[in-house]
Structure 1
Amino acid sequence: MSERSVRNWNKGPLPSEKKDRRRKSTRPDPFAGVWAEEVEPMLEADVDRILAAPTVLEWLDERHPGRFNATHLRTLQRRMRDWRALNGPEREVYFEQKHPPGREAQMDFTHCDSLKVTIGGEPFAHMVFEFILSHSGWRYAQICFSETFMALRSGLQGALWELGAAPEVVRSDNLSAATHKLKDGKGRDFNERYKEILDHYGLKATRTNSYSAHENGVAEQGHRRLKDSIAQALVLRGSADFESVEQYAKFVRSIVDRRNRLIRGEVG
């Protein structure tokens, strides 16, 4: 040790006595007044850990219009993760991909029997068609009963009309409603009827390779998230039984609308 160091240390303080003065955050808590009063009781009641942050944020937005938006989602996810780390096992983590605004939408059908929805007490076997913008996550969902060309056309047109615009590309897997097997047995190609819809709206189309669902990841994740949201909303509703298909369709529509409202100006 040098003489200079000894002299400096004698003047104090010693290195071990120096305190790490870290800056404290001055950002106001966006969940002040609602976390302990409204969110924590909801999480405590959710013993199966079904509720996820997007659904809770939508619920808060309904109760406090204009106070919350999509920018609060990550903060809420961290708060819920930390709370569950102390009070039980945490849920899954999502890793979002990045896509250029306005370029692509993905679409697909998904079976919804796992939701155990009933109409007038009778099991309701159904599917949902989804159209999702890859950049923003804006979505359109429509109840259907099979993966037919009519269901595909109705869903795609409904999505474009509601969006009021069209992306550059629509992507899907090898939907039987949109593709057919080539005579030489070398893969599949788009049906003429589907090509006519694409031409009418000025759309390009891409599709995944066979047995490669991950290549349509936005739609696959979208299905899981929508069904999770419906399952959570059914928990909050207290029943999975509806008086009519129309009532259930309105219920699903309200869930989709809440998600889209949180996106607000980020559509693309």
Structure 2
Amino acid sequence: MTTRTALVTGGSRGIGREICIQLAAQGALVAVHYAGDDAAARQTVELIEAAGGSAFPIRARFGEEGDVDTVITALEEGLRERTGTAHLDVLVNNAAINDSAGGIDGETPEAFDRLFAVNVRAPFFLIQRALPLMGAGGRVINIGSGVTRIALPGELAYAMTKAAMATLTRNVANDLGARGITINTVAPGPTRTERMAAFLDHPQAQAAIAGNQAIERVGTPADIAAVVAFLATDAAGWLTANVLDATGGTYLGPKRMG
């Protein structure tokens, strides 16, 4: 991937940061999108550069007017400055929020609308705007969630947004395939990110999660990023329209009978 370019949304921390690092390690020039934490984004870029890679930051808060325009304008400028063209090879739609106010009884219109604005509307139109920059061999990789197949309390609206991304993936695959571009969704399960750390640090929580996993441990950002990095390569050129379950086998059913 030494001649490739990538845009990773939500790349300043957690799974997004690790995706940026792994793509850069393969040689890609990575545009690190982030919402507002300048220090975290700067640290991601510095980690990449310290390892001999190349990256630059793009700041834009999804869910606000002109969000996608801001990203695409900064992306084109950054790519031209560093490569001479605004060609994009890999788009990773990772940025998302999980601000559900509850299930069907507790959700509010405001929280619901914001979830869909950030988790569905922004990546939908980012794909639309990024496609003119992509050519044959391009990759669109969406980050979904294992909650689309698991009913978890309080996750309803969030799960709906991730199901929408899986539907988007399958529905546009034919159009993109005709251009030599693949599109897939990676669905993580319980993953040790900064947001989840406080919960996962409790031994009981770790034991409960591991007990419901085929692979008996909590996932890491590196686990998810490795799947994304593979999908970005030429070796994954025959995979499209898929939702790749990257949960470690979460909630597959009873492990032993009797």
Structure of higher RCO (CA pairs closer than 8 Å, 6+ residues apart): 1
Task: Establish whether TM, by shorter chain, passes 0.5.
Answer: no
Task: Pick the structure with greater CA Rg.
Answer: 1
TM-score, length-scaled by structure 1 = 0.27
